[in-house]
Structures are given as structure tokens and as C-alpha cells.
Chain A
């Protein structure tokens, strides 16, 4: 048997990773985002996307939505470690495949080119509620809301049609129906 040259054990079999969305309610105070993000980087967890903003100005609460991947054990740890942070009020998590939860991202596309190309772009975006936020003779800024992979697809598709700049948000999430995250 090969001898381990380390004072530590070697990594063993890995479980399957899945994509999860975490929703975290925190006190909106200085440094709170650094605490949450620092927990992820410090413990080697992954952040795919992040969205954060104040949602309750009276109670001073911000809502952070984080898309991450991990084995069930890691996802458990993320929830428990987040819950331990002092400014964290509650934590909810769900799988990306969860049918009871909607999640959306927003993207802004800047397209530069002739009118017909811009029209083609709008057409291609039709499924994703395109809104023209700015328009000139030779350019347009188009806003769409969609899933991450849909935006990925659009991003590729619009390149030949004059897309010169993309700006996109992280995912935000909401449960379907009358109930809210526990």
C-alpha cells in the first residue's frame, strides 16, 4: 500500500453534487454580506450567483438569494453554518428542480446594429418578456427575465446579431401559491 506522507487523511469517495438555492434573511447592517460570503469562501463552498437587497425598511431586513452546488452533506452544513451567524434571522433552501418555487434572473442586453438586426434580437427574446429600455437609430438596450440557462442561451444567440454587452443579476426566488418560505 502506498504510504501517505501527510498528517491528514486523503479524501475519500465523493457524493453527487446538486444545485440548491438558499434564501437568507439578515439584519441590514454593515458587513453582513461579507459575513455570509466569507462563510462560503472560507469553508470552500461555491457561489454560482448572488442577489441581495433590503426588503423591509422598517425592520431593517435584507434578503440574500444564493445559488450554490454541493453534496447533501455540504448543503446541510451551509444551512447550519448560516443559521449560526448572529445577524441571520432565518434560512430556507430548496433544490433548483423544486416545482413549488419560482426563480428568475434578469439580463440587460446592449445590441448595436441596423434596425432589422435589433428587430431580430427582440424576436428571439419574445419568450422572456423583452422590454426596450433605451433605443437609438443604431442601438437598443433590451431587458429580459428568464432562467439562468435561458439567459446563457440568449447570450450566445444574440452575439451574431450585434450584442456587444450583457449585464445580469443573480437569481431571486419566491414560492408558488399562498405559502411563504418557512
Chain B
């Protein structure tokens, strides 16, 4: 007779078979049997966080930077509710997470027992799927299926709720069975005809643009490689969403920068004026499209996505290719290479005029800002950080707000999986715990959280985690004492009524660093910035860098709400010019 294992043992057996090396978690009453079993499984390292939301974001950072699913272990009740923000964040940004939560014993479910909550009910809308395991014989099957659901197709979070009595109950362990189709849900549904049609569109296009997104990153490093080949073969300009940064080198001449609300002038105008738009692994998010009715009005639109429900959800497209980015782009590249004789050359000359136009837009230099000798401009700080770290293989996470957009605009990524940010949900407090997860996955690499002082305070407790595991993460805070993006919207849309967006009584981040047992660095003059950044990079251990920046700086360029791509507000230089023009007119 095969050996009978407890539920807790089965959990670890499954994790071992799924090649899990790290789990992020926090113990509590309803998961104690699983924690008790931890010591018997040396190949799995548990990272103790300080709040379950931190566990979730750390697992997200781990997953995004490594391509492996992140695993979270929390207790029932508050443990589960605390992780909901991170699950929702992962759901919006398609990050594979497997969350295991404890639950009160089955006979107490529904009785309002201590630390009971309807975990599967609460997390149903923010996971790809979830399970409440009420029979020990289902446990191993459910855990293996959970990993499959989280990692296949469009990735996302899943949750397994395990009552405490199930963790004690015993049964035989079942190994994962070979690929079983999930109710017939296949992910590559495209045909050669569609590829041929796309290649035909490519050869006809005079004003094409490629718009790539997080799907390229999720498809793995091969997808980025294929994308680079595709861009080279076609000679087309490429822009990227926030989540897609790094799939194509940020410093390449064919790259127009990020598009969307805070995207570059050239990227947004190219989107508006193009005659062929190729969306690769992006979802026409409302921060990207601007006004839907006037979105890219004269283009043929192609959408390549693994999720059929992304097609025609926001923008109607002319050609939809449902499939994994790697396989679709490789097929396209093959087809183009076959037709190479004359094709690629003639195509490049087709679009020479288009490139001239793009260069004209580029001359606007829409990311410009007026630098200062007195105060540190936040854009300048990000630029210096980039210059001083670009020769290392640096991983960057962010919080949410102005600093996030400045990081996206001024830090240039050359490789996929180096940029971790909360895009869909926009979770302030994401960056610090995400940096913890990234550093766990890449212990030897430089990991920087470009943060805002308001965001970082939301999950600051995770500094304690960083110190405990000696994770040398660098928290680079652009401290402007405001919830900067809120302040910016209030300035532009609410007549400068800065309602509750100024943080009185901010903590002294130097003392905070000391209290946590890490290093604190402070900079408030531009002249000292480089030295201090270098000091941060050179320090072997976690650092909180308090960078005092100009509190009134706004993030430009921007598309105001309800406006199309070609009606951007540009930066201060341009505004200055316009003002003078206005005055000039009045004089005449």
C-alpha cells in the first residue's frame, strides 16, 4: 500500500513537483499545519513578509522578473482579505500567482467562526479561478490544476482555499498528469491564412506602426527576440505600452517611446496618423487609447493576443490573430523571410516619408523639462539614475503616480522582465514588496524601486523583510511631499484646489532607515545627486534614498481626458512658447 500523506505534506509535494523554490507568506491559525511541515522541505524557502499584501506583490515581482509563477501562503480571514489587492493587481496585469490560503475546518464553514471569511467568494472576481478543497482526495489534483490555470494562456492569479482539517487529513499523493486540455480551451487558434493576410498588409502599408504590450513579456524572452527580428525585418516604427517596456530596446532608433496618456508626442501622433496599426500583446487600455471615437481613425488594425476576449473589446479590429506572441511572430518572420527578395527593401522605401514625418514629431522633444541648479528635478533624478546604472543589468520596480511615469519615460530598458510596475490596477505600495520579490529571484542583481514618498509609505513595513533576508534593494524615493499625480490632476482640472493631496508630517526617511536597520541617504541639491546615487549603488545592503525634488513639477506630455492622441499637452518649454505667442497676438 502506498504511503498516506497529510494534506500539509501533499501541499509541499505538489510545490516540489511544480519546481517551486520560494514562497512568500505569513503564518496564522488556519495554516499552521502547513507551516509545521515547512521544515521537512529544504528545497523550498519561505520568505516571511510583514503584511499579506506585501506577500502578494513580492510574488508578483518574483513572477514578472523570472517568468515563473509566484507562490503565496496566507492564513484564513484577514490573511486572505489582505492579499486581495495583490490578487486583483495580478489579475489586471496578467501575472501568474498561486495563492494558498488556510480556511477554518470544514465543519465550521458558514458559522462565522474565528478568522473565517468567504475567501473563494471574495476572490472570485479577482482570480482566473479558485477552489475550496473540501475533500482531501481532490487536493493534489486541484493544486496541479491551479498551477496550470495560472501559467497557461493569458497568465493570472489563482487561489486554493484549504480548510484546516483537510491539512491534517491523509490520502495518497497523485502526481500531475500530462497536459489535459482545460475544457477544450486551446490558446493558439490562428491559421496560416491570417499570417498571410497580415504579411500582405505589411507590404502595402505606407504609415505603419507596431504597438506592443505586456503580452510580449509574458510570452517569454523568445517573444522579445522574435519582436526585435520582426521590427528589423520590416523597418517599422515601434511604440510600447507601460507593461511592454523592455521587450524592444528603449534606446533603439526605431523605438518611439511609450504611448498613451503620458507617452511621447511622436508615438501618439504616429498612432493617430498611421494607416496600419499592429497591436502585439496589448489590450487597448483606456490610458492608451484616449478618446475611442477618434482613436487612430484612418488605420487598418491588427490585434495579436492570446486572450480571445481582448479582441474587439474596446477597439474593433480588421484582423485578429489569437495566439501566443512567440508562435505568431515567429510565423510572420518566417513568412517575411521567404518573401524577402525585394520585399523588405521596397517596403522600407515605402515608409521613408513616414519616417521623415516621425522625425519631425521627434524634434518636439516632448520629454523635455526645464532643469534647475537649485532644486532636483524628478526627471533629472531618473535620468541620472539611468545613466549611473545602465551598464549593470538593473531591475526596476515602481510605485504608482508621477514618479512611475517619469521612470517609464526616462529610464530606458533593453531587456524584458527588467521593469515591474502596477499598470492596470495602479496599486500604490506595489514597488517596495515587488522589489523584495525581484531580489529573491535575482540575488546578485541591482534592484531599484523608483518610488514616491506617499506610495512607499503604504507598504513600508516590508523594509523589515528586506533587512531580515539581507536583500540589498534600493528604494529611490522622489520625495515631493505631495501625492504628485493627484496634485497634478487637481492643478489641471480642479482649479488648483489641492484637496488632501499634501502630506503633512512625513516621516524622516533617514531615521526610518536607521530604525529598520538599513542605510539612509538623502539628497536635496542637484550638485550632490550623482555622488549620492553612486553611494547607494555601491552599498551592499538595503538603502532608503530620500531624494527631495521640486514639489511643483508636472508630468508631461499628457493627453487630457476625453481627447484623442493628436491633442497632447506638451511640457513647459512648449507652453512658454504658446504663452508668448498669445501675448504677441494681443499686442497686434
Contacts and interface: CB of A to CB of B under 8 A. Distances in A.
A12 B561 contact: no
Contact of B149 (A5, A31, A42, A86): A86
A87 B129 CA distance: 9
A76 B124 contact: no
B386 to A, nearest CB: 28
Interface in A73-123: 73, 76-77, 80-81, 83-90
A9 B124 contact: no
B132 to A, nearest CB: 7
B292 to A, nearest CB: 6
Interface stretch (B308-316, B402-410, B435-443): B308-316
A85 B156 CA distance: 13
A156 interface: no
A57 interface: no
Contact of B562 (A9, A31, A73, A87): A9
A3 interface: yes
Contacts of A148: none
Interface string B340-359: 00000000000000000000
Nearest to A11: B292
B132 A76 contact: no
Nearest to B130: A31
A10 interface: yes
A83 B125 contact: no
A12 B184 contact: no
B46 to A, nearest CB: 28
A86 B183 contact: yes
Contacts of B493: 3-6
Contact of A7 (B182, B308, B489): B489
A88 B308 CA distance: 15
Contacts of B183: 27, 86-89
B120 A8 contact: no
A84 to B, nearest CB: 6
Contact of A77 (B121, B125, B313, B562): B313
Contact of A10 (B149, B311, B562): B562
Contacts of B184: 89-90
Given A3-B493, A77-B313, A9 B308 contact: no
A143 B16 CA distance: 59
A41 to B, nearest CB: 9
A9 B312 contact: no
A30 B125 CA distance: 16
A47 B185 CA distance: 25
B567 to A, nearest CB: 11
Given A4-B560, A42-B125, A76 B290 contact: no
A85 B124 CA distance: 11
Contact of A31 (B120, B128, B293): B120
Contact of A81 (B129, B185, B309, B562): B309
Nearest to A87: B183
Contacts of A7: 489, 561
A86 B561 contact: no
Contacts, number: 65
A73 B317 CA distance: 12
Nearest to A41: B125
B286 interface: yes
B291 interface: yes
B120 A9 contact: no
A68 B298 CA distance: 34
Interface string A34-49: 1100100010000000
B37 interface: no
Contacts of B560: 4
Contacts of A86: 128-129, 149, 182-183
A167 B460 CA distance: 57
Nearest to B287: A7
A31 B122 CA distance: 12
B494 interface: yes
Contacts of A16: none
A31 B562 CA distance: 39
A8 B561 contact: yes
A151 B494 CA distance: 53
A10 B129 CA distance: 32
Nearest to A39: B125
Given A34-B121, A87-B183, A80 B309 contact: yes
Contact of A9 (B311, B494, B561): B561
Interface in B102-150: 120-121, 124-125, 128-129, 132, 149
B307 interface: yes
A13 interface: yes
A171 to B, nearest CB: 25
A5 B499 CA distance: 15
A4 B182 contact: no
Contacts of B121: 31, 34
A12 B292 contact: yes
A122 B113 CA distance: 53
A81 B494 CA distance: 37
B309 A4 contact: no
Nearest to B308: A80
Nearest to A29: B131
Interface string B532-568: 0000000000000000000000000000111000000
A31 B124 contact: yes
A76 B185 contact: no
B561 A83 contact: no
Contact of A84 (B290, B309, B311): B309
A38 B124 contact: yes
Nearest to B310: A80
A83 B308 contact: yes
B381 to A, nearest CB: 25
A9 B294 CA distance: 12
Contact of B292 (A9, A27, A35, A84): A9
B312 A73 contact: yes
B124 A34 contact: yes
B132 A30 contact: yes
Contact of B494 (A5, A30, A77, A83): A5
Nearest 8 CB-CB pairings of A with B: A80-B309, A4-B562, A86-B129, A4-B561, A9-B562, A42-B125, A12-B293, A89-B183
Given A6-B562, A13-B293, A34-B124, 16 more contacts: A4-B560, A5-B493, A7-B561, A9-B286, A9-B291, A10-B562, A30-B132, A34-B121, A76-B312, A80-B308, A80-B311, A83-B185, A85-B129, A86-B128, A86-B149, A87-B183
Interface of A: 3-10, 12-13, 27, 30-31, 34-35, 38, 42, 73, 76-77, 80-81, 83-90
17 contacts: A4-B493, A4-B560, A4-B561, A5-B493, A6-B493, A9-B290, A10-B562, A12-B293, A27-B183, A38-B125, A76-B312, A80-B308, A84-B307, A84-B308, A86-B129, A89-B183, A90-B184
